[in-house]
Structure 1
Amino acid sequence: MQRVRLQEWLKLSFQQRVGIPFEEFWFQRWLQGLPGGTRVEKAGLPRRSIEKRLGDRLIVHMHPRDMIRDVNFKGVGGKRPSSSAFLWDGEWDESRGDLRHGSRYQFIADLDEHRDDLTQTQRFQEHAARLKAGKPWASAHEGILLDSEEKILAYLQIYLDFLDDMACHGFDTERGKDTLGVVVTREGHLLKINRGLHRLAMAQRLGLASIPVTVMAVHRQWWEKVTAGTTGQAALNRLALALGDCPPEKRPGRLDPGKDQGPIQWPPAIDQK
């Protein structure tokens, strides 16, 4: 666990002292139309620099049950664009998963349905089986070791308490270490990426009226369409305005790694109970 924390500290320190200043230097050249700026855009534009300029303008509000598709990189051979780049090339947006049938929603639904006896949940039974086999589940990153049934139950109760808190107080953007990240496809539709999936599943389970998601990257083809040959601040402004017209993608993709499983029956929304 100490090794993981040290690695995280070293990574963060390098980003702050070397990576971010380097990105900012070149982004400024693009922003001001200076030599080398076109190469910065060709390389994908640094995501952190764009987040610094646009801030809350990258946030889009939507009904959580509309956000049903995510990017599944298996359909493109596992090839992922750089998380440091804001412009993504490739066919990634045609490879999608269905969050309604994903592990996070199934986990949250199972907890909710068996809230009076968490030992009946699939996740408890999986962790208990590992415990019995002498291989308790552990997460070095989170500092968790489930080496007793009591710890397994306490771990599951944390998620159930989070769900109940959201039911009482709504979606709290301050809770959770990650924002609910999304990306924009070449068609201008939103796909979920692997950040905040448990909180999204909770909001879907409850049927909250609206949640905020943050755009982390966009397809280069869509960027070129909405910026229409502009660069610098003018391009950023056109991007920010266009984000408000981006709906969640609801259709399966051409390169999906699995068959479409169709819709599910959502439980009644919390305000309808």
Structure 2
Amino acid sequence: MQSAAGVALLCRIPFPTLTRVGVFECVPHRSMTDAFPSAALAGRPRYTPLIDVAEIRAVPAMPLGRKLAVATAPLLRPGPRLEACFARAFDRIEAGLSQRAVRVEFAERIFADDLRILADPARLSHQLLDVVSGVAERTRLSHWFLDRGDWSRALMPLSASEVTAEIEALFSAPGRIEESAAFAALLARAESGAPAVRNGVSLADGATIAAYFAHYDALRRSIEQEGFRPRTEVDRQTARAFFGSRVRSRKAERLERDIGVAVDADGTLLRLCGGHHRTAIAQRLGLPRVPVQVRLVHAEWLRGWIGRTGLPPARAIAQGLRHLSACLGAVLAPLVPVLAAVPLP
């Protein structure tokens, strides 16, 4: 096994530094400003999350630009031309001409498997809220791959989320979920006429709420027994077992993806849209790593990697993501076997 000093030398900041406490473990990295002084976000638009349901619904989930991106992305061929387009998009952000750029579907074509990395779920402590208000606009951050704003006010601790409390209830009250505070809270909302919505399904009565908990209890047992796999490795038979329940449509399962994450200006991973329940289950089970997909990158983090490597933007970002994945692998591979698994919704 490599020494802590050897791995730390390989995986230098801004990503997790290493320490030895019985075994190797990742500890929070020091601020990227220690390595890249340009990381200050002074003067950048500071986002405020939209909380009101009516305001959120007013921001279209699939505007025309996103529809075009979804339709045309499969036609794009990765290579120098796409990399040059990515560089121009980054230059516009750097020049202050754009606040954000590059639809996430285009980024998936440019970077492909480089976006899929392993992450310690315990380090996913905050969620970047998707629908936000800037200086003069409202947007869904999950539609984009590069952004230059100040995200600090749009972060929510995952420990404070309703989904985390609901998954905790599955573990703390096995077989007695109807007696839990989480069940009571959902039932109270249903009886008040403002039911909670999970995966697009309204939890409008006790039977639907019970089905919701039963669905995720089955997922919990699946992960406990078989592990946690990337979506691309889930076989059809396994996925079919979760199709078409009253709280999970076939369409929702078909569109499910890996846990989504964003890379903040200082290199911190934040959960972003997708995999909320799976993240909570992985954290509660104490899994050492889970597959995630990077879907949003802060432009300041990318600037740091361009300065560090001297590479053009597309290659610098790929290098940064490979570095992050290699760091996690160097720490975790000697400690645990590869987890074969089932990442269902």
Provide TM-score, normalisation by structure 2. Answer: 0.55
Q: Does 1:187 align with 2:237?
A: no
Match of residue 120, structure 2, among 57, 63, 78:
63
After alignment, is 233-242 or 222-231 more displaced? 222-231
Distance in 2 (alpha carbons) for counterparts of 1:139 and 1:95: 21
Query: Does residue 173 of structure 2 align to residue 110 of structure 1?
Result: no
Q: Which residue of 1 aligns with 2:318?
A: 240
Q: 1:46 to 1:28 in 2, by over 3 A?
A: farther
What is the RMSD computed on CA atoms of the aligned residues? 4.0
User: Secondary structure of the residue that 1:137 maps to in structure 2?
Assistant: coil
Please name the residue that 2:24 is paired with: none
Determine if the alignment matches structure 1 residue 21 to structure 2 residue 72.
Answer: yes
Structure ranking higher in strand proportion: 2
Conserved 8 A contact 1:136-1:145: no
Q: What displacement does 1:14 show?
A: 8.1
Q: Give the corresponding residue for 1:154.
A: 211
Partner Cα separation in structure 1 for residue 130 and residue 276 of structure 2? 16
- TM-score, normalising length from structure 1? 0.68
Distance between the aligned counterparts of 1:16 and 1:75, measured in 2? 20
1:123 offset after TM fit, Å? 2.9
Q: Once the two structures are aligned, what percentage of the paired residues are identical?
A: 22
Residues 90, 24 of structure 1: CA spacing in aligned structure 2 closer, same or farther, 3 A cutoff? farther
* SS of 1:171 mapped into structure 2: coil
CA distance in 1, matches of 2:160, 2:130: 17
The CA deviation string for residues 27-79 of structure 1, in whole angstroms up to 9 with x for no partner, is 98963648x97357524223211211221211121221122122257997796
Q: Secondary structure at the match of 1:86?
A: strand
* Closer, same or farther: CA 64–22 of 1 in aligned 2, 3 Å: closer
Count residues in correspondence.
233
Is the contact made by 1:29 and 1:37 (CA closer than 8 Å) also made in structure 2? no
Q: 1:14-163, aligned counterparts within 5 Å? A: 20-21=71-72, 31=82, 33=84, 38=88, 42=92, 43=98, 44-72=101-129, 80=139, 82-93=141-152, 95-132=154-191, 135=193, 137=195, 139=197, 142-144=200-202, 146-147=204-205, 149-163=206-220
Shift of 1:157: 1.0
AA at the equivalent of 2:184: Q
**Structure 2 stretches of 5 or more lacking a match?**
1-60, 93-97, 232-238, 240-252, 326-345
Q: Deviations over 1:129-184 (max 9, x none)?
A: 34555x3737597355543x333322211111111111111113336513211111
